[in-house]
Structure 1
């Protein structure tokens, strides 16, 4: 299952916060400026209406130069005005045939007229005139888009508010870069921990240069690795002691049986050899978990195959089987642990010996990427060919014990390689250690 890393979680959280902040800021600014716009519009309308009322107080016919200038300013801004009598009829206007809204008497009010015909939406004010004479109210209205503050709001949204988005994006990118830098020691420790395996249990996470909070985690992991290494070493010592304690009585028993000429004694000797093989495999399985080698440790696969063939030849010939060694294309060099590769190959050859028929041939072949061991036995089961190598208790053949290939599989995994199983068309099995 795919999971977000800590850095990805922080980036996602910061991105959400940034976009919420942008949205909240836009909404707040819109509401705030809309309120200010309404206030400014109302003050503008009130100013024009009050100018007309002052001029009307000194010039009821609004024919003076100042009154004419006030009316011209209203027309220049595409506004409209009307001076209403107490009976609601128009005394003076900007060309209107009727009042903008019905005359309501001595109550001032703001109003908005929806667009109609070629007329845009109008926002206006109607104020009563508490003066002697026939005038009753002054009405002034402007198109909403022609009030000064509307254009200011539009310019803000278009030219200024958009700066907020890239600013937040730059701030977010900066925070992400800072987070990446801050989490670099943690990523370094994670990468080092990912490289630690059974073959490198002596490796520890770097403590120098770590921040104090990360250093506490690194020290805890290193302490756990120390305990694991101690457990591995104790297990290896125990396996060696156990093998020694078991092999000694077995060797004594085999020596005593060799003095007997009875056929049953020969059968028991073979049984003891199988027991020794199982003990050796159990010890090898424990030791392979502590496998460790350096990059400079170079192994000649041809040399290892030669040593294994020479080591097991007496046993193979004594069992009535044959062995041959083929080395193709000269030396084949790999980086690895020679002793462990030797034991893995020995397990393959012993496994082939265990399943080879009388006078059967066991062939060890060294080629440019590995070693293969072929025999003329019954071959691997179909289930075994489909399964992965390395599971304890899985049998190698119909009557196998289930340890040999498991050890080889773990050894190859520690060398970044694999073991490949196949059956030969002519009969028999072939196991390949591919590096």
Structure 2
């Protein structure tokens, strides 16, 4: 199953959603690593401050018995921290109740350490600060549980109260951008809708230029210029087909007139062949013309009048071949918007096709109803392959002396009029071809 293509707006929304997701993830990672680094730096600064204060008090009072030293030890205890003054030999000089150093003596340099949780003790983060004051030499060790460092609380509060706002903020920004994109692309959607309604029957229609942004206006003008060239080509082709028909029919008419003067049986056969050639030429010209079909919304066609003209036009041929023709119409005009000449030619092709397949003394019936025109005959009907084959068989013929263009011309004519050609067989025998106007622009009963 072929996957449907995404529209430009859908592509932009998808791209912006991916960018927003990446931005959220990148921001979250940035905040995590940035605050983690700041947290580590703040811990180290806090520990260093406590250790420096202890070293300062230790220089004045080795037993840490002064009021300030007592207050400092109380603050450490309040935060559930621990401290120890360790000599170079590894013995404890004074501590918060420790029986051994937090870490073994590690030399005369500042060292930060982390002790894993064990025996009910939470993870500790600490510092070992060297001291060298008189006879006292060693290190001061201070450690606190990680969650009791002030910055942890600040970070937790930031994540809880502030950082989560980033996600809905990005989502709201994304939604706003989608709305803005929809408004910005609206002129393109309007132009696309107008272009979708342009066809052979409305080749004179142009895309609206007023109110379009400059960048979109350049595209609109280019499309309108292309439509101008197409219209010119259509009109040239239509003019050429008319000239071709005239140039071919004139010598045929002269040849037929000369043959009519002959009483020879062969002359009648050749004259019939000329009629077949003339019919093929007419269908070839119609095939070219139907692809240049165009009409305005104000071009109104009376289907009853067209059917009457076709019946009058073909009546001599029908009578001459020993067939009959009848016309049934509504009591009031049936009006549709379209190109009269093309509808006439399409109906003529259906009647000629019915004439060829009708038995001698058979009746060809033209019925005009509110939704279109039906042509019925009493012949063998359409082959089943044509009824089942759809439009791809409309260009094929069911007889030896034709090109199969008649039904194709009718189908293309109906498509240009927002209608369709329907083929069926009658239960009592015979074929019925319906020119159904699915969406007539104007249907009126007076």
TM-score by length of 1: 0.91
1:107 Cα shift?
Answer: 2.6
CA 1:285/1:409 → structure 2, altered by over 3 Å: closer, same or farther? same
Aligned residue among 48, 57, 60 for 2:59: 57
Q: Deviations over 1:128-168 (max 9, x none)?
A: 22123456322111111111111222222232222222222
* Alpha carbons 2:280, 2:402 under 8 Å: kept: no
Q: How do residues 217-366 of structure 1 correspond to structure 2 at under 5 angstroms?
A: 217-327=219-329, 331-366=333-368
Tell me which moved more, 281-290 or 348-357.
281-290
CA RMSD, 1 decimal: 2.5
TM-score by length of 2: 0.89
Q: How far apart, in 2, do the equivalents of 1:321 and 1:96 lie?
A: 126
Specify the SS of the correspondent of 2:132. coil
Q: How do residues 74-113 of structure 1 correspond to structure 2 at under 5 angstroms?
A: 74-113=76-115
Q: How far apart, in 2, do the equivalents of 1:167 and 1:434 lie?
A: 57
**Structure 1 unpaired stretches of 5+:** none
Aligned residue among 36, 44, 47 for 2:46: 44
Q: Aligned pairs, how many?
A: 435
Q: How far apart, in 2, do the equivalents of 1:215 and 1:305 lie?
A: 46
Q: Deviations over 1:252-282 (max 9, x none)?
A: 2222323333332222222222222222222
* Alpha carbons 1:381, 1:398 under 8 Å: kept: no
Matched, 1:69 2:71: yes
Q: How far apart, in 2, do the equivalents of 1:374 and 1:151 lie?
A: 92
Q: How far apart, in 2, do the equivalents of 1:227 and 1:105 lie?
A: 92
**Structure 2 unpaired stretches of 5+:** 438-446
Specify the SS of the correspondent of 1:120. coil
Specify the SS of the correspondent of 2:112. strand
Q: How far apart, in 2, do the equivalents of 1:40 and 1:346 lie?
A: 96
Specify the SS of the correspondent of 1:294. coil
Q: Deviations over 1:288-344 (max 9, x none)?
A: 223233334443333332332232222112111122233468654433233322221
* Alpha carbons 1:390, 1:406 under 8 Å: kept: no
Specify the SS of the correspondent of 2:391. coil
Tell me which moved more, 400-409 or 353-362.
353-362
Q: How far apart, in 1, do the equivalents of 2:435 and 2:142 lie?
A: 97
* Alpha carbons 1:83, 1:135 under 8 Å: kept: no
Tell me which moved more, 36-45 or 353-362.
353-362
* Alpha carbons 2:92, 2:101 under 8 Å: kept: yes
Q: How far apart, in 2, do the equivalents of 1:343 and 1:250 lie?
A: 20
